A and B are shown apart, each in its own frame.
Chain A
Amino acid sequence: MRTVLIANRGEIAVRVARACREAGLRTVAVYSEADRGAPHVLAADRAVPVGPPPARESYLNVDALLAAARTAGADAVHPGYGFLAENAAFAAAVEAAGLVWIGPPPKAIATMGDKLTARATVGRAGVPLVPGTELVAGDVAAARRQVAALGYPVLVKAAGGGGGKGMRTVASEDELAPALAAASREADAAFGDGRVYVEKLLRRPRHVEVQVLGDRHGQLVHLGERECSIQRRHQKIVEETPCPVLTARLRAEMTAAALAAARAVGYVNAGTVEFLLDADGRFYFLEMNTRVQVEHPITEWVTDIDIVAAQLRIAAGEPLGFGQSDVAPRGHAIEVRLYAEDPARNFFPSPGLILALSEPAGPGVRVDSGVTAGTVVPVEYDPLLAKISAWAPDRATAVRRLRAALEETVVLGPTTNLGFLLDVLGHPAFMAGDTHTGFLADHLADWQPGGSDETAAALAAAVALARPAAPSTSGGRAATAPTPWETLGPWRLGAQR
């Protein structure tokens, strides 16, 4: 393994490129026409175009990606997360082309990727499941009977994939038919598979997941849990480890169940077993994500294990190099996902040009970013801009540290969820560790932007308006070209006093 093609974009492609470079591997980026000159392209040794902006024609285009690997002489493929990361056919095509697939065996991806097969498989291995049922396609009357037997409320989910796509909450029977139709449409668009199933909606569960790592020599370990309950549109926006309420006994049970689920499919490489944990301390298997997880940095913070580097070593056939007793999590880590979206308008995506960007810094602060000032957040893809995480010896310090980091952060241009994230972290219920998947609906449903600094902001605006506009106001600088000043550093002080 010498040259890795990274079949992704944005922050995770940058993250993987860094790990490859550290490991002495060359990297090949791929990019759509919307991502020419994007940070993930600049992070690689070589870059190959793979098609027009729509993902189906570029980042999901298997033929174009394999051709790019051939053109650039890549001998391995890292899929990141999203796009084709959990596509067993792609993994198999990569291996059939004689390339190393940096991920789990295609068969494990297929088993866990079909959520119904996954439930059956891990259920046989003794892992507890959320009560649920498959639905007969198109038969609304039968669906009504099946769901009535299960009892409302239920969650409609896509059999073909996760990530919140094709997911709907259904509180009563009259909502069922439209929810099934919308979920099926969305699932078909996202996964090319419109099959849906239902699970009983647990009351205010926590979302707790376990990171596992396995090599090809039979070593399989877990790296502890992550608590990811704070979600909007069934997608996580705040993650932390350890879970504030997990007892040692519950942790032992959940991690053992996670390893059993992974073993049931002969798992190799990095993966995550997701559970719901109810208020009574019962937990249920939700799904297994057969790839590196967005929120992997918090596990890296507390374990000092580089998960992406481990993925590369495992794919190269090397032994993991450590055992379960070597994994000793330390301290507390929290991550937030910075999205170009408007929390006051149902988290609607807000693409566009980034006019100004400053990232936070300091001890115990980490930024995994996929954007710079001057780049455009395209409409075609997930609007994740960056992940900001913080580590500290204890949870309260980690919260304070992360809040301070977010206050240092500047994004002007697209509307972002930065202020919303600050309000999540500052909420008394969050400070108390009282998180569950209904947290945002309970505590921040009517959130509006703004803050206590409106007067100071108005004064800053007035001071700015009192200064002459920079020449760029009349100049015709290209709308998307980053200038040297934007890449040189966050501050450039003049001396007007």
Chain B
Amino acid sequence: MDVRLRHAGREHAIRLVPEDGGFAATVDGEAHRIAWVVSGSRAAASAGTTVDEHALEIDGRVVRAVVARSRDRVLVALAGRVYAFETGEEARQAAAGAGSGTVAAPMPGKVLAVLVAPGERVAIGQPLIVLEAMKMESTLTADVAGSVRTVAAVAGATVAGGDVLVEITPDDSA
């Protein structure tokens, strides 16, 4: 079985071949030996997500991982860290879209202030929107240099997570 996973912008190619109760594995061409796997499912709290727990012996080391799978994402909790892998086409596009000039509300909240207007030039890191969420003020900043194309946010408005608030036309494409 071949699996491609993207983590923090890097793509990993993984191959698993069943062997002696475990797997002969390669990760990006490097060989690893999974001697055994003990798996159990944990009831998922959400439709569309499967949560399993896996104990594996990898190259002689025992690791315990809790894995949550949804359509295009795999979250792996291992030794106090969470590794978020992307598997789907959508995630690939989202990754490519980072720094594209589309500034969305990271979570539901209230718009306190709108600091830019359409047509205005902005630099990377320039404050665009002040958002209040979970009782804290946060400033959303430009992720590219360019000119503001649209401003959908209005001070005082409540926004949902993912709502696009500002769109910037990046300099290189202007």
Seen from chain A, the residues whose Cβ lies within 8 Å of a Cβ on chain B are 55, 165, 182, 185-186, 189-190, 233, 345-346, 348-351, 353-356, 358, 373-374, 379-383, 406-413, 415-416, 418-419, 422, 448-451, 453-467, 469-470, 472-473, 475-483, 485-486, 491-497
Q: Given A450-B83, A492-B53 in contact, is the A189-B34 Cβ separation under 8 Å?
A: no
Q: Which of B58, B67, B132, B134 contacts A464 (CB 8 A)?
A: B67
Q: Known pairs A182-B137, A451-B81, A456-B78; list 16 more (Cβ under 8 Å).
A: A346-B138, A383-B134, A410-B66, A411-B82, A413-B68, A419-B80, A450-B81, A451-B79, A454-B7, A455-B30, A459-B14, A473-B49, A483-B45, A492-B40, A496-B37, A497-B38
Residues of A within 8 A of B107 (CB): 348-351, 379
Interface positions, chain B 55-114, Cβ under 8 Å from A, are: 56, 58, 61, 63, 65-69, 74-85, 87, 106-109, 112
Q: How far is the CB of A311 from chain B (nearest CB, A)?
A: 25
B32 touches A455 (CB 8 A): yes
Q: Given A406-B80, A412-B66, A462-B5 in contact, is the A353-B14 Cβ separation under 8 Å?
A: no
A486 touches B137 (CB 8 A): no
B80 touches A475 (CB 8 A): no
Residues of B within 8 A of A485 (CB): 42-43
Question: What are 21 A-B interface contacts by the 8 Å CB criterion?
Answer: A165-B136, A182-B130, A356-B68, A412-B66, A450-B81, A451-B78, A453-B83, A457-B78, A459-B56, A461-B67, A464-B74, A467-B39, A472-B43, A478-B47, A481-B45, A486-B43, A491-B40, A492-B42, A493-B53, A496-B38, A496-B39
Is B3 interfacial (CB 8 A cutoff)? Answer: yes
Q: How far is the CB of A180 from chain B (nearest CB, A)?
A: 14
A355 touches B46 (CB 8 A): yes
Is B48 interfacial (CB 8 A cutoff)? Answer: yes
A463 touches B69 (CB 8 A): no
A465 touches B39 (CB 8 A): no
Is B51 interfacial (CB 8 A cutoff)? Answer: yes
Complex Cα–Cα for A354 and B14 (A) = 28
Residues of A within 8 A of B41 (CB): 470, 492, 494
Complex Cα–Cα for A492 and B43 (A) = 10
A449 touches B67 (CB 8 A): no
Complex Cα–Cα for A495 and B55 (A) = 11
Q: How far is the CB of B23 from chain A (nearest CB, A)?
A: 7
Complex Cα–Cα for A358 and B67 (A) = 13
Q: Given A456-B63, A461-B5, A492-B42 in contact, is the A382-B32 Cβ separation under 8 Å?
A: no
Complex Cα–Cα for A351 and B27 (A) = 33
The count of chain B contact residues (Cβ–Cβ below 8 Å) is 69
Q: Which of B16, B32, B66, B133 contacts A356 (CB 8 A)?
A: B66
A412 touches B83 (CB 8 A): no
Residues of B within 8 A of A406 (CB): 80
Closest to A422 in B: B80
Q: Given A407-B80, A419-B81 in contact, is the A381-B44 Cβ separation under 8 Å?
A: no
Complex Cα–Cα for A461 and B37 (A) = 12
Q: Given A348-B138, A479-B47 in contact, is the A412-B69 Cβ separation under 8 Å?
A: no
